[in-house]
Amino acid sequence: MLFRKGASWPVSREEPSHVIDIAVFCETEKGRKVSMDFSRNPAGLDLARMDPALWAKYANIKALPLTAPPYRDSPLARLKAINAPSVRWLKDRGIDLEAGDLLELAPACQHFQGGVKIDERAATTVPGLFAAGEVAGGQHGANRPGGNALMDSQVMGKLAGGSAAAMAKASKPAAPRPRRPAKAAARGTPIDVREVRRTIQHLMSMRASIKRTAQGVKEGLAELAALATRPWDAAEAGEAFLAETRSIALVAEMVLTACGTRTESRGPHLYFDSPESTTPRPRQDPDWRKYLVLRRGPRGKLVIEARKPVEPDWPVVQQIDG
């Protein structure tokens, strides 16, 4: 792991879990594996240096004497006491923590903070299209308080459903639209659209996940542009897969463009000066207390605009991962 003695581990005090994300990402980026070993405490872990208030709070929540043996000395004992089903669940899938098996880790997307812009009725700017859940953006600001995806999916889902039903009742069935003529075919050797999708997934994992840099964004956009110059072959994968991959490519372009525009760190967006750096730039208030809106402009070009959010007049909720 990357926890070197004397390393200036970065990150704002409010979001210390990013230190682990960055460390894991840096290792996997180099092609190495990161695993959790539940058989012993991490080397160098000095529990005496941990904030006693944190221990007390945790012991209180779980009603377990976590600072006493065996919990103090064994991550597996702690895990079994707190979440025994997870140990059984992993064993059923071939990872036996009790036998000393290691649990491999990798960064993954838990929630997309942005999304389709909606109004208070969950309506998008496309008439008749409503969005709710994770696909709808702008409800959480730069970060999502733990558990708030429920608000996305249930509260906004109810609103979206109600709005869509009201609109449907008030509308006449639309006449079918003529199909738009297909775009001019790209040139060059066709590439299997499944390969296109894998390439986009990989480039987004590398350029737009934990570590974002100007160089990574530039290279990612260039890779996307290169893919777009070749015809995408959907003979095996089918038209639906092709259409979805076109949308994925568009979203990837939008995300990379937004990542490159916000030259600070905020919430889960961590922006670094170089690919080698392990310390994200700090957040830059008041310049970047803004959110970004992307749309298609003249001749299909992406237009990006920074807007000021409505300032809440209630206390801001602290982020808790979840």
Ligand X SMILES: Cc1cc2nc3c(=O)[nH]c(=O)nc-3n(C[C@H](O)[C@H](O)[C@H](O)COP(=O)(O)OP(=O)(O)OC[C@H]3O[C@@H](n4cnc5c(N)ncnc54)[C@H](O)[C@@H]3O)c2cc1C
- Summarize as ranges the residues that interact with ligand X (CB under 6 A): 110-111, 133-135, 147-150, 152-153, 322
CB of 189 or CB of 247, closer to ligand X? 247
What is the rounded CA–CA span in Å between residue 291 and residue 293? 7
The label of the residue with tokens 């036996």 reads 96
Cβ distance to ligand X smaller for residue 107 or 190: 107
Shortest Å, Cβ 145 to ligand X: 9
Q: Kindly tell me which of 148 and 278 has the beta carbon lying closer to ligand X.
A: 148
Assess contact for 304 and 292: CB atoms under 8 A. Answer: yes
Residues 6+ apart with CB under 8 A from 201: none
The alpha helices in 93-178, defined as continuous H runs, are 149-150, 156-170
Nearest residue (CB) to ligand X, 148 versus 265: 148
CB of 109 to ligand X, least distance (A): 7
Letter for the amino acid at 255? V
**Least distance in angstroms from the C-beta of 104 to ligand X:** 15
HSE value, Cβ hemisphere, 13 Å, CA-based, for 221: 16
Structure-block tokens of residue 191: 């590439």
**Closest approach of ligand X to the CB of residue 5, in Å:** 33
Tokens describing residue 121: 């009725």
Residues contacting residue 3 through CB under 8 Å, at least 6 positions apart: 9, 23, 44
CB nearer to ligand X: give 148 or 213.
Answer: 148
Q: By C-beta, is 72 or 121 nearer to ligand X?
A: 121
CA dihedral 123, 306, 313, 135 (to 10 degrees): 40
Minimum gap (Å) between residue 199 Cβ and ligand X: 20
Q: Whose Cβ is closer to ligand X: residue 75's or residue 107's?
A: 107
Q: Six-digit token pair at 198? A: 């894998």
Min dist. Cβ of residue 8 to ligand X (A):
30
**Of all residues in this chain, which one has the CB nearest to ligand X in the complex?**
133
Minimum Å gap between C-beta 142 and ligand X is 16
* Rounded distance between C-alpha atoms, residue 263 and residue 182, angstroms: 37
How many other CB atoms are found less than 10 A from the CB of residue 42? 10
Q: List Cβ neighbours of 273 (8 Å cut-off, separation of 6 or more).
A: 213, 281
